[in-house]
């Protein structure tokens, strides 16, 4: 990866994490190994298409990954490799 690609990847990740609802999802997932959409909805004030949009943004930049599908449920978990590269988790997500 060249410097420009690395810079663009960094911007994309911080832009995703700079949105308060997405940061709330990441903070929630730091406390759980994985959660499905309905479990995430139980903890947050937004649902449905808004949640799907935020999950997609976090997955597209590599912060989240789909860990498994169980029937119609999609389970997400944090991508620890991405977080280790770009976020000081202990300080930002407390």
Provide the whole-model pTM: 0.85
> Dihedral (C-alpha) 40, 26, 31, 76: value to the nearest 10 degrees?
60
Identify the residue with better confidence: 11 or 3. 11
Between 71 and 94, residue with greater pLDDT:
71
Per-residue pLDDT band for 7 (boundaries 50, 70, 90) equals: confident
pLDDT at 2: 77
Mean pLDDT of 14-37: 94
Q: Average pLDDT, stretch 53-58?
A: 96
Confidence grade of residue 90 (pLDDT, cut at 50, 70, 90): low
Domain 3-92 coded CATH 1.10.10.10: yes
């Amino acid at each position: 990866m060249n410097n420009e690609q690395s810079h663009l990847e960094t911007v994309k990740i911080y832009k995703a994490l700079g949105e308060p609802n997405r940061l709330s999802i990441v903070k929630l997932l730091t406390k759980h190994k994985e959660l499905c959409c309905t479990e995430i909805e139980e903890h947050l004030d937004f649902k449905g298409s808004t949640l799907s949009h935020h999950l997609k943004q976090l997955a597209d930049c590599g912060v989240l990954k789909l860990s498994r599908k169980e029937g119609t449920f999609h389970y997400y978990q944090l991508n620890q490799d991405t977080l280790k590269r770009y976020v000081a988790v202990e300080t930002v997500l407390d």
